[in-house]
Structure 1
Amino acid sequence: MLAKYRVLFSILIVVFVLTLAAVVIFWARGFKPNFKNGTIERTGLIVASSTPTGAQVYLDDRLTSATDTNIAFLEPKTYKVRIQKDGYTTWEKEIEVRADLATEIKALLFPLAPAIKPLTTTGAASPTLSPNGTKIIFGVSGERGGLYSLSMTERNLPFRQELRLLAKNQSAFDFSGSNFVWSPDSRQVVARFVSEEGQSSANLLVDTDKSEQELRDITASLTATFQSWQEQISTLAQTQAMIAPDEVKSATAEAEPNSSQLTVDGSQKKQSVNNEPITTNQLNYFPTGLMFSPDEEKILYKNKEGIYKVYDLKAKKEYTLPDFDNLVNLSWYPDSSHLVIAQKDLISIIEADGTNKMTVFSGKFENGFVFAHPTGDSLVILTTLTQPEGNPPNLYSIDLR
């Protein structure tokens, strides 16, 4: 008899363990019992995170949780999600929650009153970002001025750190009056000088890894140098474009026939995909009309109708960006999920799908110069800010964290 009870007890334990395991599995997969209807319902999950952390999460205007936590057992439907934190921009989007699936949200919030710090104090003429985004080159006027390079590799861009004097001004050459063209590998730059009559007077080749170097005029070989650089850029762009769908490549404005980008007649022919003009003997860094995100998973391009589009290679989905009044330029934010939009007296950051446009700076800035630091911690702009009238503009960093 005792043996019989042992067998029965063992069977009950096995049944209990299996039942408990089934309940745990179903619970973990998001199944929720509805005791009112006597049914088991499938649910979804939202995994919400934010930068900075600790923001409030609202679902359909109801405070539900904080970021960096999971919101489980949600009825499958579309929710109006709002993520906010005091002192920061608000993130809002309609999110579809599907049964048995986890929907991930990564909200990037920016300070409403960001700190603005000077990076230069003696002026920064014609600042130009290197193709790899790690250096800014600019000219400074006066006898003590010259050609300077600012490193963008330092995380917080501390004041006056990593400033390098590449070449001093000379009686015949004041770098504050030149413009600059980077080599494809971001190691050299040509400082171009133009006379009052608009004629090229000198083209100095400078190595950006050397300090206070001798100047070398390459005017005689300028055309050959630029052609070689453009060929390198075009080869790399064509290789990169191989992963883009044919319908995207054929939709770009650059796909039009007879649309050569390297003009030699002095005219300003057209604008690059990032809205910057392509001028005489300047290189076009986006000859295919495709601007890849840093992680190369998304493509920004402008179609033949002048509408900006973003194609997500991973999701195989295309997004249309909204119209931007008085657009100056646009560029990728380092996280590859956002774009930096520069309009007249306004700088915003928008998600790659065209939603959540967040203002990060409102005020005057010069020459459309605005770029994100490679870490995403700040933006660098050229502005006079609160300087006395008549002073040259300087480089400033806008803290985004």
Structure 2
Amino acid sequence: MKILPRLFFIFAFLAIFFLIVAYSRGYRLDIKEKSFTPTGILAITSLPKAAKIYINNELKGATDSNITLPPGEYTVEVKKEGYTGWKKTVNLKGEWVLSLNAVLFPLNPSLSPLTNLGIIRAIAIDNTDKILIFSENNNLEKDGIYLFEGSQTPLPILPPLKLILAKKNLPENIDFKKAEVTFSPDYKEVIIDLKTIDNFYPQANFSYLLSLDEENKNPLDITTSKQALIDAWEKEKLAIKLKLLNAYPKELAKIASDSFHIISFSPDETKILYQAKKTINLPAIITPPLIAVNQTEETRQLKKDSIYVYDKKEDKNYLINIFPKNINQLNESLVQWLPDSKHLIFLETKKIAVVDYDGTNKQTVYSGPFESLFFKVNSDSRLIILTNLNPETNPLPDLYAVGIK
């Protein structure tokens, strides 16, 4: 008689264990069908938090939430008052957990001044939070080339500017508007090519090697020898890119070195933004493909001059169809990564926009006045622009931080 209670206890334990495992894997009791049916889970987060979640136009709660749903196609929207919206269509399968992270941007971003110098030219220094500034206000004591180091001083204090080269130490009639720069691989030095103003005769060109760590009171003139140094720097930069590619699968690294014009790696080095140098098929690297990953349709047939993002973690390749088709070679002056490695920020006509790394969810983050040839995103996600908010009394623009988060 003691065996029956033991058997009942064992079967009850197994039944409860089965129900717990089935529930944890997404199975739910369907009363109409009188059976356990598989479900999937949408794990939806957002920045900022406490945004509303709509699934097929029906309010389902607020972020951050896990929402259990039967298999099927769903349109997920994340909305928050005062911010841009986010939308994605997903195909959920049983036992899947799909993670969706919506980043929303303020509809009315704040503006904070960073300089009050009067700037004629600004050039972002790649892979750093630094900006090279050219100031020319007919002020013999202040005109020159400065270094802005955006991450060193918190707002609202104006960060101090480091003088790199006073204009009084250069030949007369130099035109800063025509300045061209080449940075060293470690971004500690720069070659600056300068020309005299158009109406000055005879025309003259000068090239100087400057340190970015200190003021250059006696700039080194390398006008006749600069090309050898530039060639050496380009070799070093190529070696750095190849070293980053070595962290990718060998088959992909070989194709990338031959067929990609690499614009930039994401900050976490898991994605490549590139322009195809030739039409070629990109083979699958991870087989079989991973499940419960980004479901945006990818493109593995590359077309020459088109822009793509390759994601190493998921072996996905996305067409970024947001740039004019007549761009010969895209560069970081037009498009940059946000620090989260999940978004690209880029210039459009009279505005600056953000798009997910897979080319979806384009959102305008700034459409106010700015100098259209310059923008920069710092490691703290501050968007820096060059603008003049009072042109009637102030002849030149200055740097401003735009609060996009």
Into which bin does the TM-score normalised by the smaller protein fall? 0.7 to 0.9
Q: Cα–Cα, structure 1 residues 367 and 229, in superposed 2: closer, same or farther, change >3 Å? A: farther
TM-score (norm 1): 0.82
Structure 2 Cα separation of the partners of residues 95 and 386 of structure 1: 47
1:42 is matched by which residue type in structure 2?
P
Q: 1:351 aligns with which of 351, 356, 364?
A: 356
Q: Which position in structure 2 is the counterpart of 1:306?
A: 305
Q: What does 1:29-48 align with in structure 2 at a 5 Å threshold?
A: 29-48=25-44
C-alpha spacing 1:372/1:71, structure 2 compared with 1 (3 Å): same
Within-5 A mapping of 1:360-399: 360-376=365-381, 378-388=382-392, 391-399=395-403
Matched letter for residue 162 of structure 2: R
The partner residue of 1:127 within 95, 118, 122 is: 122
Q: Secondary structure at the match of 2:242?
A: helix
Encode CA deviations 1:252-301: one digit per residue, 9 max, x unaligned: 4xxxxxxxxxxxxxxxxxxxxxxxxxxxxxxxxxxx44532222222222
Aligned-pair distance for 1:45? 0.4
Between stretches 84-93 and 18-27, larger displacement belongs to: 18-27
1:28 deviates by: 0.9
Aligned to 1:145: 143
Q: Match of 2:166?
A: 168
**Partner-residue secondary structure (3-state), 1:9:** helix
Look up the equivalent residue of 2:164 and give its one-letter code: L
Mapped contact 2:210–2:216 kept (Cα < 8 A): no
SS at the partner of 1:148?
strand
SS at match of 2:225: helix
> Any unmatched runs of 5+ in structure 2?
279-303, 328-332
**Residue correspondence of structure 1 range 256-271 to structure 2 within 5 A:** none
Query: Is the Cα contact below 8 Å between 2:176 and 2:194 reproduced in 1?
Result: no
- Provide the C-alpha distance between the structure 1 equivalents of 2:228 and 2:94, rounded to a whole number of angstroms: 61
Q: Is the 8 A contact 1:126 1:180 kept in 2?
A: no
* TM-score normalised per structure 2: 0.81
State the SS of the aligned residue for 1:21.
helix
Instruction: After TM superposition, give the deviation of residue 213 of structure 1 in Å.
Output: 4.4
1:80 to 75, 84, 88: 75
**Pairing partner for 1:234 from 231, 234, 238:** 238
State the identity %.
Answer: 29
1:62 to 58, 63, 68: 58
Aligned length: 360
1:315 aligns with 2:314: yes
The alpha carbon displacement at 1:119 in A equals 1.0
> Aligned runs of 1:73-222 on 2, under 5 Å?
74-141=69-136, 142-143=139-140, 144-154=142-152, 156=154, 158-170=156-168, 172-173=170-171, 176-177=176-177, 178-196=179-197, 200-211=204-215, 213-222=217-226
Counterpart contact for 1:139–1:175, Cα < 8 Å: no
Q: What one-letter code is carried by the residue in structure 2 that aligns with 1:182?
A: F
Given that residues 147 and 175 in structure 1 are in contact (C-alpha distance below 8 angstroms), is that contact kept between their aligned partners in structure 2?
Answer: no
Q: CA deviation at 1:120?
A: 1.2
Partner SS state of residue 219, structure 1? coil
Q: Could you tell me how far apart the structure 1 residues matched to 2:362 and 2:36 are?
A: 40
- Measured against aligned partners, the alpha-carbon deviations of 1:19-69 in whole angstroms (never above 9, x if no partner) come to 222211111111001111111100000111111111111110001121112
- Residue type of the partner of 2:78? I
SS at match of 1:220: coil
Q: CA RMSD in A?
A: 2.5
SS in 2 for 1:228: helix
Deviation larger for 192-201 or 117-126: 192-201
Letter in 2 for 1:343: E
Residue range with higher mean Cα deviation, 109-118 or 135-144: 135-144
**Quick one: distance in 2 between partners of 1:213 and 1:27?**
72
**CA–CA distance in 1 between the matches of 2:219 and 2:107?**
45
Query: Residue 192 of structure 1: CA displacement?
Result: 2.2
Deviation at 1:399, TM superposition (A): 0.5
| 1:9, distance to aligned residue in structure 2 (A) | 3.5
Shift of 1:157: 5.0
Whole-angstrom distance in 2 between the partners of 1:343 and 1:101: 38
One of 285, 289, 293 as aligned partner of 2:266 = 293
Q: Is the 8 A contact 1:139 1:148 kept in 2?
A: yes
1:341 aligned partner: 346
